[in-house]
A and B are shown apart, each in its own frame.
Chain A
Amino acid sequence: MKNIIRSILFTVCAWTAFQSCEKDIPTRKHFDLYAFSGEDPTGGAWKPVLLTDPSQIPLPAPEAVNSAAYQAELANVKSASAQLSGEQEEAIAYWGNNGIVRWNEIARELAAKYNMAPAPNPDGSYPGPNAANPGQYPLFPFAHPPYASRMYAYWGAAQFDALIATWHYKHQFNRPAPYKTDASIQTHLPQTELPSYPSDGAVVASVSEAILTAMFPLEKDFLMEKAREHRQTQLWAGMNVLSDIIAGDSLGRAVAAVFLARAANDGMKNAQAPKPVSDSLANAAQAQWGWHWENLEDPQRPVGVTPLFGRVQPWCIPNVEAVRPGPPPAPGSPDFERDVAELWEISGNLTVRQRQIANFWSDGLGTYTPPGHWNRRASDLIVENRYNPLRSARVYAYLNMAVMDAGISCWDAKYYYHYPRPSQAVPGFTTILGIPNFPSYTSGHSTFSAAAAEVLSHIFPSDRASLEAWAEEAAISRVYGGIHYRFDAEAGLAQGRAVAAYSVTKAQADGAE
């Protein structure tokens, strides 16, 4: 009997250990709170992206620190931060003092959640998402790579402008942080020398809420709750009084509105062209080049992903023609045959390493897309380099403006050249990755990745070698997967670098370097 009990106990213990170790899969990046490596006191003078001036959005002067109103707010912070609940402590640890990194993670999560292609109707036609009725299947948006790149870009650039304005007002009004006025206030985040009005955390939360709600309207409630919690943590942690947070909230919303006004008329609403327009692009390519791409799915998708994304308003490049590569090798030409032979060679002898690379970079449906992959890398670099919110936003802004411009340029080439994928041009050729619903040349992964690596290397020069290696790997991963020719990847890398040069030039002139 003893033995039976012992063996049962053993089983229960082994079971518990087994269960607990397998539940330990992270759903977000874990990092320790850090003190900023610099506070950029002159950041308010940096050049914004859309704002004409950091003071374009007016902000009322705060109450003086010796006013009764402020003293009441201070007392409120003091009592709140002195007795935190477990939930409040958790929330502070989650958002930290650079919540922009968390918002980037949330943006990636939503991109993955909404990156689902519509299913066909029973009659073989395809429904499309409808921004005016987002909750009807297929849900709006379909967060494919062009959509995601644009979402990250508006989010990042708006953060940057809003935080430049924040830094401007912080130093103009110079209201000291609560813990500077009352040293007995307990703080739960690293203290800084930054003035506290307006709250940078509240700005980040409210910009994020506004931009992401516009991009993912069905997530309105979720985002509102997240932003509310983020703003509150700034008070619970002893970093801001309520009026700092209210000012940050209103500034964030006002700057977001400037960006959303641009978004409303940037051409995106026409990007998912109707079939006649889409067909005319294919016909034009057939007439000019003698080929055109076709979707091979059954039932066939009548229109590729955003045929007119190439006409969406870019951020840094003057126009798509400035970075449009020359035509790809004609099917049947020696250059074409050489790269097809390579595809057969790879597909017939695929190594485990090649398969791993193809899958690591697959970033296909149901993922945060290649732009998300690079935002993740950028977030890691921001944390490693202990960037403050303003400098973090600058990374996201230039990265994502370059990545969206890369997407615009790449999509221009895709539908201008309308080049068939290997599976269309090479009879019997199979792939290990799903075949994206847009033309082959140039490779989106390559263009996005080269642009991202260039911008990040400019900001984090000591990581240049590893960033460039990453971009090269992302590019070749599509050849390993069988969905791109090498010439797609190489032209995409060159195109991405050319695009990024414009973003880097803009970055060099913004006053932050």
Chain B
Amino acid sequence: MKNKFLYRSLPAALLLLWLCVQSAGAQTPIDAILMPKGGLCIGIFYTQDNWNEYWEGTLKRDNGNVGVLKRQTVLPMVAFGLTDRINVLAALPWVRTHATAGQIRGASGLQDWGVWVKAEVLKAEHLSLQAALGATGPASNYLPDYFPLNLGLGNVEGTARAIAQYRLDNGVYTRLQAGYHLRGNTTIERNYYYTTQGYYSDQVDMPNAVTYSFAIGRWMNDDAFKAEIIYDGLHTTGGHDIRRQDVGFPSNRMIFQRLGASLQYYFPPSQKIGLFASGGYVLNGRNVGQSTVLTGGVSYQFN
């Protein structure tokens, strides 16, 4: 049994920022990527992530003792414009897990707090380059060694990310992101575990990870409406495969590529309120579930 990788909140946080920025940007040049100084935006997202097949190492399989693994996330977030070029974001997801088969109890609770600083490092007529630094860590004492029903991976993590966006005058844009996730150990509740060898500790050395995405989309209707297609993925830089018929473990080697699409809409005329909906499907993976992910969210921009 293996979990859908617990997607760290950064992409979602950036998503809030896109959502917020557009509202704020209604009064500013249309290629605005960051909120202006003093801008405050709040949002809440709901995500449902289901899978009934997963990859045990490279072997794709189902599991009658899991059935469908359902993960629901409620993600409140806030973004604030420190300056016109530097924004800070914070998020605190609440997660609930449930398996439709088997006798193992689902879990629920706060997952990982996250804070990010995002800065625009270059801005040209059509091009914007940004950098983001983030940190996440467990916000409750959930157990990471509870696959596939664990709320999160339980480790502190630092992320550095670069983002490039290129936008044409007709509203068509592309965006590239790449991030590196430097992960601290996670702590489990037994002091012996076996991965590819035994460890006499409750500490688990977590593999670092790379995440990336490529998006293409278009703003329409005077920037009240946006549609986007996104291809994203994750690749841990180490870790081990789930053994045959074993359960997942936080330090598994996790890989996936996912294809998704999203829509955003801003209520005219002020465009203070934004709506967001997206769907994604994991195309391929390793030691992760083949998730179908649906997200809906709303944001509000204060002046």
Contact = CB atoms under 8 A, between A and B. Distances in A.
Interface string B79-106: 0000000000000000000000111110
Nearest to B196: A113
Contacts of A356: 189
A298 B199 contact: no
A109 B198 contact: yes
Contacts of B191: 360
Contacts of A120: 64
- Which secondary structure dominates where chain B touches chain A? loop
B221 interface: no
Interface string B223-254: 00000000000000000000111110000000
B182 interface: yes
Nearest to A421: B103
Given A27-B200, A297-B64, A360-B191, A22 B246 contact: no
Nearest to A115: B194
A118 interface: yes
Given A119-B244, A347-B105, A432-B104, A25 B201 contact: yes
Given A25-B201, A297-B65, A359-B188, A113 B105 contact: no
Contacts of A23: 205
Interface residues of B, number: 35
A429 B104 CA distance: 9
B119 to A, nearest CB: 14
Contacts of B193: 366-367
B194 A112 contact: yes
B189 A15 contact: no
Contacts of B102: 297-298
A435 B182 contact: no
B183 to A, nearest CB: 8
A29 interface: yes
Given A22-B205, A116-B245, A356-B189, A432 B105 contact: yes
B184 interface: yes
A25 B200 CA distance: 7
Interface string B55-66: 000000000110
Contact of A27 (B101, B198, B204, B244): B198
Contacts of B198: 27-28, 108-109, 112, 368
Nearest to B244: A119
Contact of A26 (B141, B189, B201, B206): B201
B143 A355 contact: yes
A430 B173 CA distance: 49
A430 B105 contact: yes
B65 A109 contact: no
A297 B269 CA distance: 57
A299 B104 contact: no
A434 interface: yes
B243 A368 contact: no
Contact of A366 (B105, B205, B246): B246
A366 B64 CA distance: 20
B107 to A, nearest CB: 9
B194 A367 contact: yes
Interface string B99-142: 00111110000000000000000000000000000000000010
Contact of B200 (A26, A347, A362, A365): A26
Given A112-B198, A431-B105, A355 B189 contact: yes
Interface residues of A, number: 45
Binding site secondary structure of chain A: loop
Interface string A283-304: 0000000000000111100000
Nearest to B243: A116
Given A27-B200, A109-B197, A352-B141, A367 B192 contact: yes
Contact of B103 (A15, A27, A431): A431
A423 interface: yes
B194 A430 contact: no
A120 B205 CA distance: 31
A137 B189 CA distance: 31
B248 to A, nearest CB: 11
A376 interface: yes
Nearest to A422: B103
A28 B104 CA distance: 32
B62 to A, nearest CB: 10
A298 B184 CA distance: 36
Nearest to A29: B200
Contact of B244 (A116, A298, A373): A116
Interface string A118-131: 11100000000000
Nearest to B145: A359
A143 to B, nearest CB: 11
A27 B245 contact: no
Nearest to A26: B200
B278 interface: no
- Best-surrounded residue of B188, B199, B200 (most CB of chain A within 10 A): B200
Nearest to A113: B194
A28 to B, nearest CB: 7
B190 A359 contact: yes
A356 B145 CA distance: 11
Contacts of A22: 184-185, 205-206
A117 to B, nearest CB: 6
A118 B205 CA distance: 28
Interface in A381-428: 423
A23 B102 CA distance: 36
Nearest to A110: B198
A25 B145 contact: no
Contact of A119 (B146, B188, B245): B245
B52 interface: no
Given A297-B65, A435-B103, A27 B143 contact: no
A362 B246 contact: no
A56 B189 CA distance: 48
A403 to B, nearest CB: 17
Interface string B145-186: 110000000000000000000000000000000000010110
8 contacts: A26-B200, A108-B198, A297-B102, A355-B143, A360-B191, A366-B243, A373-B192, A431-B104
Given A109-B197, A296-B103, 12 more contacts: A18-B184, A25-B199, A25-B201, A112-B194, A297-B65, A298-B102, A355-B143, A365-B246, A366-B193, A423-B103, A430-B105, A435-B103
Q: Top 5 nearest A-B pairs by Cβ distance?
A: A298-B64, A359-B189, A119-B245, A430-B105, A112-B194
Interface of A: 15, 18, 22-23, 25-29, 108-109, 112-113, 116-120, 137-138, 296-299, 347, 352, 355-356, 359-360, 362, 365-368, 373, 376, 423, 429-432, 434-435, 482
